Amino acid sequence: MKLQEDDDLRLQLNLAIGRKARKEDIVVLARDHPARVREWAQQQTSRPDLHGYDFGEDRRGVVGWYEPTKEYVAGHPIDASPPETRDELRDLLVKVLEQFKRLVEQQRGWELLWNSDGTEKDESAAQLVFLGIAQNYLRLFDVEIDREVELGRGPCDFKIARGTSCRMILEVKKVHNSKFWNGLADQLPSYLRSDDAPEGWFVAIQYRGTRGSRQRLLELPRMVTQAAERCGKDLRYPVIDGRSDPPSVSRIGS
């Protein structure tokens, strides 16, 4: 009887908090305490009253990114200092992106982007893997990274900032996404204008070796240059090979 009363009281408390808490506050709390979010998610798998999302399979990559990225960052320190200028923030971000690329391409991190049956996870899964890498590194250097910040026409993928003068916007896109070029030519410049940020990054992740994907990657440098000229912002891009059948070491660079 006592256990039932405790459960009822906990449920009532959760409902009261859920009604009064702002969504923005809940999101901030979740970002600041990802370990607790993961613990909560694992607890939900044993609840008989919940059915739907399989956290064990994690087909959308909601929780699977946390431990692998945390362990990777702990084992791969980078040499940097808290940035004081935009150039220094850029140098730090380049190092973080290099580690993200290394994890995905050389440390089997691509497995976090794919399901066990060979299908791709949602684009948000790649964003969360990047968040895990970037957040764990950037916090060491007093740099903030926020995901899905509302900027004018919608939420950008990431805003990276130290103070008010050093800030950048970063978008992550699958190369074969039908809105790939729109993300570069329209979305990213729009977010930069809304935030008055001087620099944007367009992270292109290749999932397929099709002719269409290869053609887009060939066109990417020119398209980035044109988009930068139109919007008057500094635009940069890295390419990440997230294919589930990455080229062998002997074929890299061939």
pLDDT band at 103 (very low <50, low <70, confident <90, very high): very high
Q: Which of 226, 174, 182, 173 is nearest to 201 (CA)?
A: 173
Q: What is the mean pLDDT of residues 128-143?
A: 97
Q: What is the pLDDT of residue 22?
A: 60
Q: Is a pLDDT exceeding 90 seen at residue 30?
A: no
Q: Is a pLDDT exceeding 60 seen at residue 129?
A: yes
151 phi/psi in degrees, rounded to 5: -135, 95
Query: What are residue 205's DSSP bridge partners?
Result: 174, 240
Sequence-separated (6 or more) residues with CB below 8 Å from residue 145: 131, 134, 135, 138, 158, 159, 160
3-state secondary structure 126-185: HHHHHHHHHHHHHHHHCCEEEEEEECCCCEEEEEEEECCCEEEEEEEEECCCCCHHHHHH
Q: What is the pLDDT of residue 82?
A: 95
Token pair 């002719």: residue: 211
Q: Which of 190, 211, 214 is nearest to 202 (CA)?
A: 190
Query: What are residue 199's DSSP bridge partners?
Result: 168, 234
Share of the chain above pLDDT 70, in %: 80
Sequence-separated (6 or more) residues with CB below 8 Å from residue 42: 55, 63
Share of the chain above pLDDT 90, in %: 67
Q: Is a pLDDT exceeding 50 seen at residue 15?
A: no
Token pair 């600041």: residue: 32
How far, in Å, CA of 231 to CA of 192, rounded? 9
34-44 and 23-32 helices cross at what angle (nearest 10)?
Answer: 100
How far, in Å, CA of 103 to CA of 171, rounded? 19
Please indicate whether residue 51 or residue 238 has the higher confidence score (pLDDT): 238
Q: What is the pLDDT of residues 204-229, one digit of tens each?
A: 999 999 999 999 999 999 999 999 99
Q: Token digits for 90?
A: 């850029």
Q: What is the pLDDT of residue 253?
A: 35
